[in-house]
Amino acid sequence: MTNQVKAPHIVKAFSEELEQLSADVAAMGGLAESLVSDALQAAATRDGDLAAEVVARDAQVDAMQRDIEKKIIRLLALRHPIAQDLRVCIAALKIVTDLERVGDLAKSIARRVPTLNDSEPTAFAASVDRMGKLVLSHIHEVLDAYVTGETARAVAVWERDDDVDEHYNALFRELVRAMRDDHAMIGPGAHLLFIAKNLERIGDHATNIAEVIHYLVTGSELASERPRGPRPEQTV
């Protein structure tokens, strides 16, 4: 990681293993991000083949998580990392857990594409896609921040998660109203709701990763709970 322009370890292999670990996490991040992006594209373009491909590719994310976890356990057992080195390991462990979830959520979005394709396109698809792009930009930002060690960028994403929540809340209300007014909307509307919920979850994982980056770089925690508005589930 470029943020860690610091003296190398006297034991070279230790430095190499930590660098490899960070590179692996970044690579897994890239893959998870591409799953989200492709799932969104599959939904927007009603592309069933691309959706199927996303579902299949999620297995790679899971495999990477297992591989990285093994490497971390080995590092902990054999190198006894402390201070910043320990943080690199713990951060990697937490981030791959979030990324694995992101992959799952992308898969779950992709799985809905064939069913949505069975019904007529709705005006809400564009709104879902906008929300998706926003979430995608958050994932992209935190992963960049991880690679460069720029805490400020991570914190900025963390603070912007409210935008995702607002987007979700608005979409939730509109979809519920549309489903009430037009029963033909209930089928596609339910699926879009789940997609929006999945996107909102992906946004949460991006903020988790932002918190981990802050801890990784500074050694201290971001405030544990951000002030949140009411959940739509609580308001409708």
Residue 7 binds other proteins (CB under 8 A):
yes
Residue 17 binds other proteins (CB under 8 A):
no
Distance between CA atoms of residues 62 and 100, nearest Å: 6
Nearer to other proteins, 45 or 218 (CB): 218
208, 173 Cβ separation under 8 angstroms: no
Residue 223 binds other proteins (CB under 8 A):
no
The window from 9-17, 22-30, 58-66, 192-200 that contacts other proteins (CB under 8 A) reads 9-17
Chain-centroid distance of CA 38 in Å reads 13
**Tokens for 201?**
């979850």
Residue 77 binds other proteins (CB under 8 A):
no
Nearest to 202 by CA among 89, 61, 64: 61
Type of residue numbered 20: Q
Distance between CA atoms of residues 121 and 178, nearest Å: 14
Residue 153 binds other proteins (CB under 8 A):
no
Q: Could you tell me the CA-to-CA distances from 67 to 60, 94, 174 in Å, in that order?
A: 10, 14, 42
Positive or negative, the Cα torsion across 165, 167, 173, 178? negative
Alpha-helical segments (H) within 46-150: 48-79, 83-118, 124-148
Residue 14 binds other proteins (CB under 8 A):
yes
Taking the complex as a whole, the smallest distance from the CB of residue 27 to other proteins amounts, in Å, to 25
In the set 37, 60, 84, 127, which binds other proteins (CB under 8 A)? 84
Residue 220 binds other proteins (CB under 8 A):
yes
124-148 and 151-181 are packed helices; what angle lies between their axes, rounded to 10 degrees?
A: 170
In the set 5, 77, 82, 123, which binds other proteins (CB under 8 A)? 82
Residue 121 binds other proteins (CB under 8 A):
no
Nearer to other proteins, 34 or 84 (CB): 84
Residue matched to tokens 């462990």: 93
Nearer to other proteins, 11 or 73 (CB): 11
Residue 183 binds other proteins (CB under 8 A):
no
Distance between CA atoms of residues 112 and 11, nearest Å: 50
The window from 35-43, 80-88, 154-162, 225-233 that contacts other proteins (CB under 8 A) reads 80-88
Distance between CA atoms of residues 34 and 2, nearest Å: 23
In the set 77, 83, 123, 152, which binds other proteins (CB under 8 A)? 83
In the set 49, 77, 80, 152, which binds other proteins (CB under 8 A)? 80
Nearer to other proteins, 18 or 54 (CB): 18
What residue ranges bind other proteins (CB under 8 A)? 6-11, 14, 80-87, 219-220
